[in-house]
Amino acid sequence: KLPGQTFAQHSDAVHDRHISMCGYAPAVAALFACRDLGADQAEVVDYTDSGMVTGDDSEVVSYAGVRIFKGRA
């Protein structure tokens, strides 16, 4: 569920939760667009991090593939 109704609330949530994420603004814009188009569900399709390739887990960049969709009524 989206933590707020406005873009500013989402920006505040990113800051308040200490989320370090490149491109959070486009991600939030996509979530708003999906919600406005009727999406009501999300599924993580894949999640990995750069340590899986390098073998060094001390500092990683994570990647997630998420499917956002409208479920069956």
Instruction: With cut-offs at 50, 70 and 90, classify the pLDDT of residue 2.
Output: low
State the pLDDT at residue 61.
92
Per the listing, tokens 């894949």 go with 46
Q: Are 4 and 13 within 8 A, CB to CB?
A: yes
CA distance 19 to 23: 11
pLDDT in tens, 10-62: 888 888 988 888 888 898 889 889 988 999 999 999 999 999 999 999 999 99
pTM attached to this predicted model: 0.70
Q: Read off the pLDDT band of 4 (50, 70, 90).
A: low
Looking at residue 48, its pLDDT comes to 95
